[in-house]
A and B are shown apart, each in its own frame.
Chain A
Amino acid sequence: MSPNADAPAEGAPTLTDESAGLLAALQAELGDAIVEHANAFGDVVVRVKPDAWRRTAQVCKEKLGCDYLSFVAGIDWMPAPLVADEGSGDTSAPVQPRDQTYGAAGSAGRYQAFAVVESTKQKATRAILKTDVGDDLRVESWVPVYAGADWHEREAWEMYGFVFDGHPSLRHIYLPAEFEGHPLRKDYPLLAREVKPWPGLVDVEPMPGGDADEEATPAASE
């Protein structure tokens, strides 16, 4: 219940016993296919090589008892180009850092696929798995291992453009068949905001004597 005293720099608790056991088993089974691993608040994050992605799923399901697939999804690590800079006066969205940094367990490039598998037989046993997606956007499909990956991979294909090798039928799931583009990529604009700009904090009137008398915003000079 109490916050961890021996928290590392990120303020995260150490790996739980279950996660440490999973990590050891994964390292024994996959060997040097594991690129990096990290700790996400007690959960283990394992990044594997792209050509070991399906093998990882097989190991998790058959050897580690993680019989339950929570989800498969994608990440685009590109810094959001459409979000305004700090001090620009545009408050339509939270300001995000401009440099391209990668989260737990790192990444080789812009795109990653990640998944969570859990065990229904052991307590609190779950692993977060990641793999890099190269420029050809090809990922090994998990459908032969976890049948439920079907819809999740269709969603990732639609939202990020990942092509899952071995998937039975990659077709649109949420969006109409004639939809173009991959909406969850960071460079895809949020169309609602294009049509009608979000007023953000602009509608708050400046208070007399407040800090509203700062210099004119750079956005206004354009």
Chain B
Amino acid sequence: MSKVLPEPGRLPEIEVDPSAFRHLADAQVNVELDTGDMVLNIGPQHPATHGTLRLVVRLDGERVIAADPIIGYMHRGYEKLTEFRTYPQITTLINRIDWLSSFANEVPFISCAEKLMNIEAPPRAQYIRTILTELSRIATFLLFLGEMGLQVGAITPAFYGFRDREYVLNLIEAVTGGRFHPNFNRIGGLKDDLPWGFISDCRSAMHKVLESCDEFEDLVAGNPIFQARTRSIGIIPPELGAAYGVSGSNLRASGVDWDLRRDGVPYLVYNELDWKVWTHPDGDSFARYWVRLQETRESARMVLQMLDMMPAGPIMAKVPRIIKVPEGEVFVNTENPLGEMGYYVISKGATGPFRVKIRSASFSNVSILPWLLRGVYIPDIITILAGLYFILGDIDR
């Protein structure tokens, strides 16, 4: 305290011992340091957001006090485009909504048109549709099971996920000719029958999937670091989740025992199969991982059952050559890998629909983010985003 401090705006004329300022600096930290909020922009191009999701978060230190997801960077205007297309052309579009499970997207839309036209696909076509829907669910979830590990810093599971998904994609490719965009459904049935050797290939692939699920259970779900990063992180209360329209595995991970395959208006052949709906009471990121892991297994078991039960017969019903859909309105929703996928089709008797409302799962799943991210720490944003598991095409449509 013996030395004179320089006045502000004037250069010091004497050499000052820095240690003399120490207690002053401390005092400033304690008293005057500005702790104002910081606004951090994540994305739209950020590896953790799986696409072009932009997240503007307001931070107090490391803690999020407000989050605003900004979507629409991939908006393609499908609801407008459907009004300028015929029904068979639209299936091409809707393949691109949730591009990881394109086949599952086609099913509800085709089902809308079939209901309006009063056509029913033959049983064999229904079985093949169910198998392919479950295969796309397995493919989608295997990617998730690996990628979720990647988001908490484990690189190995990601490779396992991609590797195992390949078995399933090969099967889908063998049937439909496309790995991601099959465009395989037709109004009244399917484009083709199963290829030769599919049943045995599919059976061995499903056993591989069951094995790899065990592996993921040991490697990722049983890992203490993974559990520490995901347990009690991002808890969605069941009532709030339902009010937000969060659906699918995300809602079942909050303990809501609700699966449209079982509880919705019956579709495909799920009623004929012996299977179970998995739920987890916790509602956190770990629960979402665990539920998807069990559902992957359950889907593999369902496919194995269906391979044994597959009926013979035609794969196409009698359909008029030019598809004109009678006047009417119908809503069909199905349990897609990411949640409830629904189409509300209004037809006025033309070859194309008058209005199609596309209810995509990820849009509603992500709409809970402003609530869910409030109060979490920055590293947990990543696990919450990964645990919700959305596809940007499914959000932006």
Out of A68, A152, A184, which one reaches B243, CB within 8 Å? Answer: A68
The smallest C-beta distance from B239 to any residue of chain A, in angstroms, reads 7
> Are A183 and B77 in contact (CB-based, < 8 A)?
yes
Residue of A nearest to B360 (CB): A71
Residue of B nearest to A75 (CB): B355
Known: A11-B326, A96-B348, A96-B352. A148 touches B367 (CB 8 A): yes
Out of B116, B251, B330, B348, which one reaches A120, CB within 8 Å? Answer: B251
Total B residues in contact with A, Cβ cutoff 8 Å: 56
Residue numbers in A under 8 Å from B314 (CB-CB): none
Contact with A along B325-366 (1 / 0, CB 8 A): 011111101000000101010101111101101010001100
CA distance A97 to B354 in the complex (A): 10
CA distance A151 to B369 in the complex (A): 11
* A219 adjacent to chain B (CB < 8 Å): no
* B245 adjacent to chain A (CB < 8 Å): yes
CA distance A180 to B243 in the complex (A): 31
Out of B120, B263, B340, which one reaches A124, CB within 8 Å? Answer: B263
The smallest C-beta distance from B293 to any residue of chain A, in angstroms, reads 22
CA distance A112 to B396 in the complex (A): 23
> Are A150 and B84 in contact (CB-based, < 8 A)?
no
Residue of B nearest to A105 (CB): B329
Among A20-28, A36-44, A131-139, A203-211, the one that faces the other chain is A36-44
> Are B342 and A71 in contact (CB-based, < 8 A)?
yes
> Are B75 and A73 in contact (CB-based, < 8 A)?
no
Among B116, B243, B256: residue with most chain A CB under 10 A? B243
CA distance A104 to B354 in the complex (A): 13
CA distance A164 to B85 in the complex (A): 31
Extra contacts, 14 of them, besides A2-B120, A70-B340, A94-B350 (Cβ < 8 A), are A1-B120, A41-B115, A67-B239, A69-B244, A69-B245, A94-B86, A95-B351, A96-B348, A96-B350, A104-B329, A116-B342, A120-B263, A123-B263, A128-B331
In the complex, 20 of the A-B residue pairs with CB atoms within 8 angstroms, ordered by the A residue number, are A41-B116, A41-B330, A61-B243, A71-B344, A73-B344, A93-B85, A96-B348, A96-B352, A97-B348, A97-B349, A116-B333, A116-B342, A120-B242, A146-B243, A147-B368, A147-B371, A148-B243, A151-B363, A151-B364, A184-B79
